[in-house]
Amino acid sequence: MVMASLALAMAGHAWPEEPAFVGNKACTGCHKAEALDWQRSAHAKAFDLLAAGRKPAEKLKGKLEPEKNYQKDEKCFKCHTTGYKKPGGFQDVETTPDLVGIGCEMCHGPGKEYREIHKRMVLEFKRSEVQAAGQTYATLGDKVCQNCHDHKDSPLKKELDPKYGFDLEDKMRKARTAFHRITPSIGRHQ
Ligand code: HEC
Ligand code: HEC
Ligand code: HEC
Ligand code: HEC
């Protein structure tokens, strides 16, 4: 139980009950439309950007080495994989293939607990309830995108190119190709 002891080790910090990551397959069975869009999306493929030879001009601009294989460099994993160094999260491509790239849970929160609420309550759950179980909402004010975008640890900063800046409203217009189309929920979750 490596993960359980990791969770315990982290328990002394701010989130004593931080839920675990469970991977995309724990979501996609119930959310097929989002899953289909996501598979083709920029976030799903974000780990590919770390391969040698990809985006050489952009890497040079960010003082990175175009021919280096950054898929082995853990400095990049926090923002190009799902849940790195967190309970249940990405370890390496072989051990955790379902957590390669930026999965559902990097925007919606680690899913172990709130997915059970979706399952049990279906159209009846309240957002306050799932938020207490770790679900996050970028469009309701949770700063989830900013864990990666316009973040001080990213080698590609807006000082190098204004396109690396982040404005939620503007970026949400590209939702369809960046992650998935947004469709109104059927349930009343207020
Ligand atoms: C703090 C989060 C963060 C870290 C750490 C990070 N990245 Fe990224 N990276 C991003 C974000 C966000 C984008 C998308 C930027 C955009 O298009 O606005 C990105 C985009 C990229 C791109 C594509 C740029 C383009 O213009 O198409 C490359 C290449 C890249 N990252 C390489 C790396 C490498 C290599 C590392 C490790 C040395 C790394 N990143 C670490 C957040 C991060
Ligand atoms: C890059 C961020 C991002 C990723 C990755 C992502 N989503 Fe979303 N998703 C959003 C945002 C933003 C919303 C609007 C609601 C909110 O603010 O959370 C949303 C809304 C939803 C909704 C509500 C209905 C709808 O379509 O608007 C579902 C269901 C959903 N996402 C499922 C998924 C699943 C399943 C995955 C993985 C296959 C996924 N999402 C990946 C950002 C993301
Ligand atoms: C775990 C880190 C991470 C999170 C969280 C994240 N992104 Fe990204 N985002 C990236 C990376 C890395 C890329 C680069 C993908 C590429 O260029 O192929 C990217 C690319 C994009 C792009 C396409 C490039 C562009 O700038 O036009 C959009 C749009 C975008 N993200 C919006 C969002 C929104 C909105 C959210 C929050 C709901 C979000 N992202 C959350 C890391 C992240
Ligand atoms: C057993 C089926 C099931 C599983 C598994 C599941 N969900 Fe859901 N989810 C639902 C249902 C049902 C709703 C409510 C749909 C509606 O109201 O239209 C929902 C709603 C959502 C919403 C919108 C919430 C809102 O307030 O509008 C998001 C985002 C979401 N799920 C993401 C996920 C993610 C991410 C996972 C995996 C960690 C996941 N779900 C796992 C069934 C499921």
Decide: 186 in ligand 4 pocket, CB within 6 A: yes
Nearest CA to ligand 3 atom 27: 171
What integer pLDDT is reported at residue 15 of this predicted model? 47
Using the predicted structure, report yes or no on whether residue 1 has a pLDDT greater than 50.
no
Choose which residue among 171, 181, 182 to substitute to test ligand 3 binding: the one with the highest number of ligand atoms within 8 A of its C-beta.
171
Q: How confident is the model at residue 5 (pLDDT cuts 50, 70, 90)?
A: low
As a whole number of angstroms, the distance between CA 27 and CA 44 comes to 14
Choose which residue among 31, 37, 82, 188 to substitute to test ligand 4 binding: the one with the highest number of ligand atoms within 8 A of its C-beta.
31
Give residue 12's Cα distance to chain centre: 24
What integer pLDDT is reported at residue 16 of this predicted model? 52
pLDDT tens per residue, range 150-181: 999 999 999 999 999 999 999 999 999 999 99
As a whole number of angstroms, the distance between CA 69 and CA 82 comes to 19
Sign of CA dihedral 12, 152, 100, 178: positive
Mean pLDDT of 127-147: 97
Q: How confident is the model at residue 8 (pLDDT cuts 50, 70, 90)?
A: low
Mean pLDDT of 56-82: 97
Higher pLDDT pick, 79 / 3: 79
Q: How far is ligand 2, taken at its centre, from the CA of residue 34, in Å?
A: 7
